[in-house]
């Protein structure tokens, strides 16, 4: 990193922004094979939280690939960079006080561990959308598995590129056995159990006084 870069310090802290929204910012990281139900479930959970008055945002794999990550391919290195960008974006959005939902295959444990490392303990909720390969191939809503089997798509997760399932996810959703409505209730129940849907408390106000002596923040002139 260049020595010419100086960290920006705002007057309003992330916890104060969260207090303004009366919620606990966190990231709900949906991971699983293509066709497992990540986008469907993240969208339904997002809608359920919105109806309860929470401030949320969904980062979806296809949308990010069309915008922020449109310059990336599907090599292992590009997949890792894709997840890095998503994780950093999600982190910034939680600093704005939002509950962020991400729907990405994110096939490698190392990349998911990197994403987790950006967040405070308890603020990264890994949600494993578990569906067997034979089921998602039957669903195949985008026709991607058929194309991969024909050799038209190379390095497709589950076919000729591995998916490393989470070993200890906070939530596991078996979409082969349970309908979407039950999966949504399971996610909400976890958030409630961990207190992530409770408003934060004891957050002091923002102001210049808190930045006095901070070398990274311009100090008011005296005299």
Cα 95 to Cα 85: distance, rounded to the nearest angstrom: 16
DSSP secondary structure of 26-54:
EEEEEE-STTSSHHHHHHHHHHHHHHTT-
Cα 59 to Cα 141: distance, rounded to the nearest angstrom: 20
List, by residue number, the catalytic residues: 106
In angstroms, how far is CA 32 from the centroid of its own chain? 13
Q: Which two tokens stand for residue 154?
A: 């190379």
- Give me the residue label for tokens 């020595």: 3
- Give me the residue label for tokens 């139900």: 37
CA triple 34-39-43, angle to 5 deg: 170
Give the chain's radius of gyration (CA, Å). Answer: 20
CA triple 203-205-210, angle to 5 deg: 105
In angstroms, how far is CA 57 from the centroid of its own chain? 10
């Amino acid at each position: 990193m260049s020595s010419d870069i100086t960290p920006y310090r705002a007057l309003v802290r992330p916890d104060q922004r969260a207090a303004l929204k009366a919620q606990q910012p966190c990231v709900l990281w949906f991971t699983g094979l293509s066709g497992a139900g990540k986008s469907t479930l993240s969208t339904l959970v997002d809608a359920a939280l919105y109806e309860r008055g929470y401030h949320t945002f969904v980062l979806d794999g296809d949308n990010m690939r069309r915008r922020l990550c449109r310059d990336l391919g599907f090599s292992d290195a590009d997949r890792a960079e894709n997840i890095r960008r998503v994780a950093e974006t999600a982190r910034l959005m939680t600093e704005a006080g939002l509950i962020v939902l991400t729907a990405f295959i994110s096939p490698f444990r190392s990349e998911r561990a990197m994403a987790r490392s950006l967040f405070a303990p308890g603020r990264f909720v890994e949600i494993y959308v578990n569906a067997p390969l034979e089921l998602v191939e039957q669903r195949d809503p985008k026709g991607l598995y058929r194309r991969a089997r024909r050799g038209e798509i190379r390095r497709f997760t589950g076919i000729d590129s591995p998916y490393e399932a989470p070993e200890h996810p906070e939530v596991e959703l078996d979409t082969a056995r349970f309908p979407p409505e039950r999966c949504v209730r399971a996610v909400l129940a976890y958030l409630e159990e961990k207190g992530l849907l409770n408003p934060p408390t004891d957050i002091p106000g923002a102001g210049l006084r808190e930045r006095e002596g901070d070398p990274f923040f311009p100090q008011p002139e005296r005299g």
